[in-house]
Amino acid sequence: MTINGNLLVAGTERRGSNGEFHGIEAATGKPLPVSFGGASPEEVEQAAEQAWQAFATYRETHLEVRAKFLEKIAEEIEAIGDDLVVRAMAETGLPRGRLEGERARTTGQLRLIAREVREGRFQELRFDAGDPSRKPVAKPDLRLRNVALGPVAVFGASNFPLAFSVAGGDTASALAAGCPVVVKAHSAHPGTSELVGRAVQRAVASTGLHPGTFSLLFDTGFEVGQRLVADSRIRAVGFTGSRRGGTALMEIASKRKQPIPVYAEMSSINPVILFPGALNTRATDIAAAFVTSLVLGAGQFCTNPGLILAVDGAALDAFVARTAELLRDVAPQAMLTPSIAKAYCDGVAKLRQHSEVRSVASGRPGSDFEGTAALFETSADAFLANHELQDEVFGAAGLVVRCRDLQQLEAVLDELEGQLTVALHIADEDEAAARRLVPKLEMLAGRLLVNGFGTGVEVSPAMVHGGPFPATADGRSTSVGTLAIYRFLRPVSYQDFTKALLPAALR
Amino acid sequence: MTINGNLLVAGTERRGSNGEFHGIEAATGKPLPVSFGGASPEEVEQAAEQAWQAFATYRETHLEVRAKFLEKIAEEIEAIGDDLVVRAMAETGLPRGRLEGERARTTGQLRLIAREVREGRFQELRFDAGDPSRKPVAKPDLRLRNVALGPVAVFGASNFPLAFSVAGGDTASALAAGCPVVVKAHSAHPGTSELVGRAVQRAVASTGLHPGTFSLLFDTGFEVGQRLVADSRIRAVGFTGSRRGGTALMEIASKRKQPIPVYAEMSSINPVILFPGALNTRATDIAAAFVTSLVLGAGQFCTNPGLILAVDGAALDAFVARTAELLRDVAPQAMLTPSIAKAYCDGVAKLRQHSEVRSVASGRPGSDFEGTAALFETSADAFLANHELQDEVFGAAGLVVRCRDLQQLEAVLDELEGQLTVALHIADEDEAAARRLVPKLEMLAGRLLVNGFGTGVEVSPAMVHGGPFPATADGRSTSVGTLAIYRFLRPVSYQDFTKALLPAALR
């Protein structure tokens, strides 16, 4: 399969004229074959203009055509074969099993959303018949449907080279809604992006859609992304990345002549609450499950459990001891990029040097490109007094916060920023205490889970992968699951329309 | 019924300690009896804190209780009797018939939303059963519901003293969603606000709700509103007013530690497109309907038809001539406030002096507190070259834009900012041309209507009263109709919850 570093603009390919960069082998920091050309301002313009042109027809594609298109993308991704996994392994350092699973997740997601498109529920069709004889004024005939927002800029995520990238959740739900997509590839996996981009491009062509329905751009810095978000033809943004990057895009979007929604998923430390009964009965089991979740994918999940809250005492000691014991055996793992590895290393060093934080255990040390799992602990008093202890350390680092009692644990919850997930570990006897906290947790996060960890994100109609700021820019939506389609829609009401004028679905 | 100028804070009343102001008789500019005390920062704090306290229980009130509460508010408003209409007439200058109608609309809206609450569809309950035997990993049990965002700040609108004010659409839909409400009364109708505020307060008490579920604050300037939007306990904002006011609130909300949604309805000139066939056959009838809509309520509707687009020619001449003829007979009407009257007068003067604008006709002149209807015309070339001609002139002023042909008319549409409504006047022969424009119009406005004017906004499940910026701050929602409830909700997912821990609706 071809990787030549070209931009894929609306059915064509061309060398980006704005500098170049290489994919980097995550495990070694060495450049991989093929250089990628960054998009110039003109090339960004062209992609946006083509998306805008495509929107005129794509927004009203028959739902069956749109569903088949999504399924075709899935087929085309599968047709790339092992080349995709091999390239993604090299670029991301993620192991084969994970990437094969992620590929299945990505194609499964496309197919689930295709089914949802066929059902068409997201159109939110509403009919309210008129009544010309109503007094004092006639009642108009009113019909409502959701329409697509317009072309969407999607930013590939470093940590999911397939499922949150070129043909990931944002792209799938935007395309499902009727929005063309311009993807800004993440420089952490440009070759993987190109392979998938070509698959989407082929699906566009074989479905007979306007070629502007999809474009893929590379960026040597931040300019391409910033220009896309500022472009008047782009009408919504899907982003997964850092808090700094996400808030910068939010600001650009809010300063446009016409502000647009930014769905940025940014920062979450995913608190895990260990209730006393659960700790008393299962401390070591929970420790084992925690370590598994903490080190999964080198901890590079938005839902990584970075914060453990529990009441101080012997049972918590047992949990910490067992976690430490398991952690010491954890092998170092290649991180997604050298800069992510460095940021992780710096974050861990900061915790290690923090006067109020105790280093409990570390995994086995590795190279400069690898992350070593790390466990820290602090008191609730210190956590409450030092806001920086809430900062996400992206990677396999966990912080245990020892609380005096459940009341202080609740005080810690009150100080937390918005989260993607909160996990509760409970035994029967904890149910009353847990129940009392649920309303607070609903305000804190988009997903609450019992006796588990948040690192597995089921692609389901009932999934919410989102949460109050800074977990995401807009806590009213989800980036995973079928509800994600609604992010790219807005309602329009049709009053006293003649049959011929009405959109087909409302006739 | 009592009007004493007190703040209504969470079941109590007290004199606001931050300056004072009077209601003003709209027709004369003279102060009405009773002075109102503005809320101090401490009093804003108290209202927000009480709303936050109330939220803990109100958010989970049984839907039947919440529905009865909304119905009780409607009853209490009716129980005020004629005092409400009389005071509103004095404060707003609106005639009795309009205010009686608006009261019926307000109570009807509360009852419609109560029915919607009973049905509970807005909870968006979703169930996705788990499967412990699934390979490679067990499938979790996932359930989803919408939860209330939290306390909502509602800004009363000057132009709808009942239907978009203390117990108007924003309040009804926020309360329906489970959000306590703090209303900042509009200083254009403080006595009306107090009467309705007391009605809501009585409904809170007789339903046995936490008194913090509702508060009403007065403001001598802008500080109370700004503080409310900045308060960490307020989680969403409903506003109807000027573009300047709305964008100022948007900015405050976006700079909070946790940004919150602002639903600001701001500025719309509601284009009306007269297609050639319609003009050829019904120019004078359309003119009559246009004048009726233009001058309704002294033109003080968000949906006032301020812009007429048509192809130049004899039929348009006939329309303009008939409109001018009818307009000259229109009596001056008291405007809502002296400052609105002045702003209207200034806006009209600006159009009159504009070198590219021709003054076609005026209604009969009136006092400084009255608005005189006015019709202007310009060419599409001039309209395209002078962006300020898009500025809303709040009141009964209309601008006819003469286009060379439908193509130039389309070019004008392309330059328009977001709108609440677009009206199309068509004959059978116009259907093809109109149909071609519909996709463009869907991008431009929240409601499209055929052979009518947008000034009547039906309270319906299929109504969208909203639209792209600057019509509103967030074109993804509506402020009228049952869909408005969704503005104050966000989804939460519950994974592997035990039955006892689940919210009742999801068990």
Task: Please report whether residue B462 resides in a domain.
Answer: no
Tokens 């009203």 — which residue? Answer: A60
SS3 state of residue B440: helix
- Per the structure, the complete domain to which residue A349 belongs is given by 271-450
The answer to whether the beta carbons of residues B487 and B261 sit under 8 Å apart is: yes
Within 8 A of B492 by CB-CB distance, chain A residues are 442, 445-448, 464
Residues B207 and B306 in one domain: no
The CATH number covering residue A178 comes to 3.40.605.10
- Minimal Cα–Cα distance from A128 to chain B, Å? 6
Residue B173: CA atoms inside 13 Å, Cβ hemisphere, count?
27
Q: Do B491 and A500 touch (CB under 8 A)?
A: no
- Give residue B119's pLDDT: 97
Q: Do B137 and A456 touch (CB under 8 A)?
A: yes
- Minimal Cα–Cα distance from B451 to chain A, Å? 8
- Give residue B375's pLDDT: 98
For an interface test with A, give the residue of B123, B420, B493 to mutate (most A CBs within 10 A): B493
The answer to whether the beta carbons of residues A452 and A301 sit under 8 Å apart is: no
pLDDT digits (tens, 9 = 90+) for B257-304: 999 999 999 999 999 999 999 999 999 999 999 999 999 999 999 999
The answer to whether the beta carbons of residues A310 and A346 sit under 8 Å apart is: no
Q: Which of the following is catalytic: B25, B194, B265, B377?
A: B265
The CATH number covering residue A415 comes to 3.40.309.10
What CA dihedral angle connects B423, B425, B431 and B435, to 10 degrees? -20
The arithmetic mean of pLDDT across residues B119-126, rounded, is 97
Give the closest of B261, B442, B493 to A462, CB-based.
B493
Task: Please report whether residue B83 resides in a domain.
Answer: yes
Sign of CA pseudo-dihedral B338, B339, B343, B346:
positive
Residues B441 and B330 in one domain: yes
Give the closest of A250, A463, A469 to B258, CB-based.
A469
The answer to whether the beta carbons of residues B294 and B376 sit under 8 Å apart is: no
Give the closest of A443, A460, A468 to B142, CB-based.
A460
Taking the C-alpha atoms of residue B303 and residue B264, their distance in angstroms, rounded to an integer, is 15
Residues A363 and A426 in one domain: yes
Residue B136 has pLDDT above 90, yes or no: no
- Minimal Cα–Cα distance from A15 to chain B, Å? 33
Within 8 A of A503 by CB-CB distance, chain B residues are 438
Low-confidence ranges of chain A (pLDDT < 50): none
Q: Do A144 and B483 touch (CB under 8 A)?
A: yes
- Minimal Cα–Cα distance from A18 to chain B, Å? 32
List residues of A with catalytic annotation: 265, 302
pLDDT digits (tens, 9 = 90+) for B196-244: 999 999 999 999 999 999 999 999 999 999 999 999 999 999 999 999 9
Task: Please report whether residue A166 resides in a domain.
Answer: yes
Within 8 A of A126 by CB-CB distance, chain B residues are 461-462, 483
The answer to whether the beta carbons of residues B153 and B182 sit under 8 Å apart is: yes
Residues A112 and A153 in one domain: yes
Residues A248 and A327 in one domain: no
- The three-point CA angle A409-A415-A421 to 5° equals 80
Within 8 A of A443 by CB-CB distance, chain B residues are 147, 150
DSSP string, B15-42: ---S-EEEEE-TTT-PEEEEEEEPPPHH
Taking the C-alpha atoms of residue B387 and residue A422, their distance in angstroms, rounded to an integer, is 50
Residues B476 and B434 in one domain: no
- Minimal Cα–Cα distance from A443 to chain B, Å? 8
Within 8 A of B138 by CB-CB distance, chain A residues are none
Tokens of A354: 């923090």
% of residues, chain B, pLDDT over 90: 99
Task: Please report whether residue B334 resides in a domain.
Answer: yes
Q: Do A259 and B451 touch (CB under 8 A)?
A: no
- Give residue B458's pLDDT: 94
Q: Do A128 and B250 touch (CB under 8 A)?
A: no
For an interface test with B, give the residue of A268, A270, A460 to mutate (most B CBs within 10 A): A460
Q: Do B463 and A497 touch (CB under 8 A)?
A: no
Q: Are strands A358-362 and A370-371 parallel, antiparallel or unpaired?
A: unpaired
Task: Please report whether residue B464 resides in a domain.
Answer: no
Give the closest of B442, B474, B483 to A147, CB-based.
B442
Residues A180 and A261 in one domain: yes
Question: Could you tell me the CA-to-CA distances from A419 to A289, A381, A389, A501, B39 in Å, in that order?
Answer: 21, 21, 15, 45, 34
Residue B2 has pLDDT above 90, yes or no: no
- Give residue A1's pLDDT: 74
Taking the C-alpha atoms of residue A83 and residue A192, their distance in angstroms, rounded to an integer, is 9
Q: Are strands A419-425 and A271-274 parallel, antiparallel or unpaired?
A: parallel
Tokens of B314: 């004899």
Give the closest of A466, A474, A496 to B450, CB-based.
A496
- Give residue A490's pLDDT: 98
- The three-point CA angle A27-A31-A35 to 5° equals 140
Taking the C-alpha atoms of residue A122 and residue A117, their distance in angstroms, rounded to an integer, is 8
Give the closest of A140, A445, A462 to B126, CB-based.
A462
Within 8 A of B468 by CB-CB distance, chain A residues are 258, 490
Taking the C-alpha atoms of residue B413 and residue A39, their distance in angstroms, rounded to an integer, is 32
Task: Please report whether residue B58 resides in a domain.
Answer: yes
- Give residue B99's pLDDT: 97
- Please, what is the average pLDDT of chain A? 97
pLDDT digits (tens, 9 = 90+) for A396-413: 999 999 999 999 999 999
- Minimal Cα–Cα distance from A14 to chain B, Å? 31
Query: For B296-429, where are the alpha helices, taking DSSP H only?
Result: 314-328, 338-353, 380-385, 406-415
Residues B344 and B420 in one domain: yes
Residues B416 and B440 in one domain: yes
Question: Could you tell me the CA-to-CA distances from A230 to A217, A236, B312, B420, B463 in Å, in that order?
Answer: 15, 10, 36, 24, 31
Question: How many other C-beta atoms can be found within 10 angstroms of the C-beta atom of residue B440?
Answer: 14
Q: Which of the following is catalytic: B25, B76, B179, B302?
A: B302
Q: Do B492 and A434 touch (CB under 8 A)?
A: no
Q: SS3 sequence, A40-82?
A: CHHHHHHHHHHHHHHHHHHCCCCHHHHHHHHHHHHHHHHHHCH
Q: Give the residues across from B358 on adjacent strands.
A: B377
Within 8 A of A259 by CB-CB distance, chain B residues are 250, 469, 473
Between A and B, how many residue pairs show a Cβ–Cβ distance under 8 A?
197
Domain count of the fold of chain A: 2
Name the amino acid, one letter, at B325: E
Question: How many other C-beta atoms can be found within 10 angstroms of the C-beta atom of residue A456?
Answer: 16
Give the closest of A101, A150, A476 to B490, CB-based.
A476
Taking the C-alpha atoms of residue B20 and residue B318, their distance in angstroms, rounded to an integer, is 52
Q: Do A448 and B495 touch (CB under 8 A)?
A: yes
Tokens of B47: 């209202």
The answer to whether the beta carbons of residues A421 and B105 sit under 8 Å apart is: no
DSSP string, A307-323: EEEEE-SHHHHHHHHHH
Residues B173 and B49 in one domain: yes
Task: Please report whether residue A459 resides in a domain.
Answer: no
Residues A254 and A281 in one domain: no
SS3 state of residue A369: coil
Within 8 A of A435 by CB-CB distance, chain B residues are 500-501
Pick from B266, B267, B268, B264: nearest CA to B237: B264
Query: For B231-328, where are the alpha helices, taking DSSP H only?
Result: 243-255, 276-295, 314-328
Within 8 A of A128 by CB-CB distance, chain B residues are 458, 460-463
Peptide bond into A365 cis (omega under 30): no
Q: Do A449 and B140 touch (CB under 8 A)?
A: yes
- Give residue A50's pLDDT: 98
Give the model's confidence band at B1: pLDDT under 50 very low, under 70 low, under 90 confident, else very high: confident
For an interface test with B, give the residue of A469, A492, A496, A506 to mutate (most B CBs within 10 A): A492
Peptide bond into A259 cis (omega under 30): no
- Give residue A136's pLDDT: 86
The interaxial angle of helices A276-295 and A314-328, nearest 10 deg, is: 20
b/e per residue, A198-234, with b = 16+ CB within 10 A?
Answer: bbbbbbbeebebbbbbbbbbbbbeebbbbbbbbbebb
Q: Do B498 and A450 touch (CB under 8 A)?
A: yes
Tokens of B168: 């108007």
Residues B39 and B119 in one domain: yes
Which helix (H) or strand (E) covers residue A100, if one does?
helix A96-119
- Please, what is the average pLDDT of chain B? 97
Task: Please report whether residue A482 resides in a domain.
Answer: yes
Pick from A237, A132, A128, A238: nearest CA to A493: A128
Does the interface ipTM go beyond 0.85? Answer: yes
Q: How far is CA A234 from the centre of its chain?
A: 20
